[in-house]
Chain A
Amino acid sequence: MSKKQTFEEAFKRLEEIAALLDSGETPLEESMKLYEEGMKLIKICSEKLEQAEQKIRKLSEKADGSFEETDFEPLPE
């Protein structure tokens, strides 16, 4: 699943929510909903950033045209 969508859209939405809340034009009920949505987005993004282990794999193409991913170890020079 692409993390790209979550981050790019999340930050865009967070900016929208912040602007709406700042404007003071939304009624209290909607403000609360927006606030909750914003906090949830922040939580999801933070969790994704907490990942510390980097995954490195190698892509190979087989004779029949299919692909497979295997572990990669950089060889010494």
Chain B
Amino acid sequence: MDQRIYSVTELTREIKELLERSFPRLWVEGEISNFKRHSSGHLYFTLKDANSQISCAMWRFRAGSLRFHPEHGMKVLVEGDIQVYERGGNYQLIVAQIQPAGGVGALQLAFEQLKKKLHAEGLFDEAHKQPLPPYPARIGVITSPTGAAIRDIISVLRRRAPGVELLIYPVRVQGEEAAEEIAAAIDSFNRYGKVDVLIIGRGGGSLEDLWAFNEEMVARAIYRSRIPIISAVGHEVDYSIADFVADYRAATPSAAAEVAVRDQAELKGQLAYYRERLQKSLLNRIEGYRNTLESIRSSYAFRRPQDQIFQSLQQLDELQRRLTRSMSHRIAINTGQLETLRKQLLAMNPRAILNRGYSITYKNGQVVKDAALLARDDQVKVVLAKGSFQANVNAIGDDNE
């Protein structure tokens, strides 16, 4: 017999060399099944299609760079090397990287997975979102110290509300450490207090560039913030996880600054409106008292210039003139004069006059001011400070008789 006789080890060795040489780094497409994440951090799964399957292993140091979570049933593209295990007499695909198959990028998939997870946990709930303070005195800004974002925010705030203070916490807005820095900045502001609202964000970029704002730790930091947060990540069309969790999403950093503060000019306008309204109101009140005084004057026939009421009317007229002028010249009215007037008016009110002993006489329901209009035996009604009585006219006289 001239057949070469292999030992098991020799045969396996040759199989190993043949396979590992024939199948260096390659890409395989298939469906994941029996996915297991070992406590060691290594991933084990089977990649299969309709007719075959192959065992796969991804070591922890490589698995760490995965952005999305591979799942049972997911269709993927796997890059790796074939490795034969002599001990076990089997082979495995040692995975270098995994991509989702079917056009969706790894980042996009990771985004969808996290969005779904956090949404289910309630991090995007409207009920949890805080209202923005209408008149913040201090605004905290978490963004890159370079770049257009911070300059846009500063220029908008300078125009709209120069009186509002800015407190900036510079961070990296892309790269490995960005998410951690952003989350730490949010927590720092919450510990520091002393700001009324936070703006976090950055300028435009690719999904990779904006990725820090899609990280779970940033989302959770935003969610637990007791200070309201406006997020402004990228351009109009970019929606990040941070945008969903934030209390308000602005399309751009400039828009964030616009929504954070009221326009100062608008506030000044409102103050002018209130000034006008209060002055008009008081004028109306005084007008009202003036009319009352006028009717008292005509009712009681107080015509002599020395009378207090006549003087009061004159003072009121003067006050009115001054108030009307003050509405265009902004002079405060002399409230001391009003105080004097107030005392006089109190004295002039009908009840006070009756209390001093005066009475009102009515004939047929009409007030009688002139005795000449009465005749003997007329029935009159007389109203006193307390009560009234009917009377019969006996005799008519002149003034003060």
Cβ–Cβ < 8 Å partners of A4 in chain B: 133, 135-137, 196
Is the pair B274, A42 in contact by a Cβ cutoff of 8 Å?
Answer: yes
Most chain A CB atoms below 10 A, which of B191, B274, B288 = B274
Cβ–Cβ < 8 Å partners of A49 in chain B: 163, 264, 267-268, 271
B162's partner among A7, A42, A53, A59 (CB-CB below 8 A) is A53
Cβ–Cβ < 8 Å partners of B264 in chain A: 49
CA A36 to CA B289, docked complex, whole Å: 19
Cβ–Cβ < 8 Å partners of B166 in chain A: 54-57, 72
Is the pair B339, A32 in contact by a Cβ cutoff of 8 Å?
Answer: yes
| Chain A 8-57 residues near chain B, CB threshold 8 A | 8, 11, 14-15, 17-18, 21-22, 24, 28-29, 31-32, 35-36, 38-39, 42, 45-46, 48-49, 51-57
Decide yes or no: A8 and B134 within 8 Å by CB, A28-B345, A39-B332, A57-B165 being known contacts: yes
With an 8 Å Cβ cutoff, the count of chain B residues facing the other chain is 51
With CB as the reference atom, state the residue of chain B lying closest to A53: B162
Is the pair A3, B163 in contact by a Cβ cutoff of 8 Å?
Answer: yes
Q: Is B364 an interface residue (CB 8 A)?
A: no
Contact bitstring A54-77, B, C-beta under 8 A = 1, else 0: 111111110000010100101111
A8's partner among B135, B140, B278 (CB-CB below 8 A) is B135
Main secondary structure of the interface of A (DSSP, over half): helix
| Chain B 202-247 residues near chain A, CB threshold 8 A | none
Which of B8-16, B32-40, B146-154, B305-313 binds A?
A: B146-154
Is the pair B135, A67 in contact by a Cβ cutoff of 8 Å?
Answer: no
Q: What's the minimum C-beta distance from A22 to chain B, rounded to whole angstroms?
A: 5
Main secondary structure of the interface of B (DSSP, over half): helix
Q: What's the minimum C-beta distance from A38 to chain B, rounded to whole angstroms?
A: 5
Cβ–Cβ < 8 Å partners of A36 in chain B: 335
A28's partner among B188, B274, B285 (CB-CB below 8 A) is B285
Cβ–Cβ < 8 Å partners of B288 in chain A: 24
CA A70 to CA B347, docked complex, whole Å: 64
B157's partner among A28, A52, A54 (CB-CB below 8 A) is A54
Is the pair B188, A18 in contact by a Cβ cutoff of 8 Å?
Answer: no
Q: Is B389 an interface residue (CB 8 A)?
A: no
Q: Which residues of A come within 8 Å of B, CB atoms?
A: 2-4, 7-8, 11, 14-15, 17-18, 21-22, 24, 28-29, 31-32, 35-36, 38-39, 42, 45-46, 48-49, 51-61, 67, 69, 72, 74-77
Pairs across A and B, CB under 8 Å, 29 listed: A4-B133, A8-B135, A14-B274, A18-B278, A18-B281, A21-B285, A24-B285, A24-B288, A28-B289, A28-B338, A31-B285, A35-B278, A35-B282, A38-B278, A42-B274, A42-B278, A49-B271, A53-B162, A54-B158, A54-B162, A56-B165, A58-B167, A59-B168, A59-B188, A61-B192, A72-B166, A74-B145, A74-B151, A77-B148
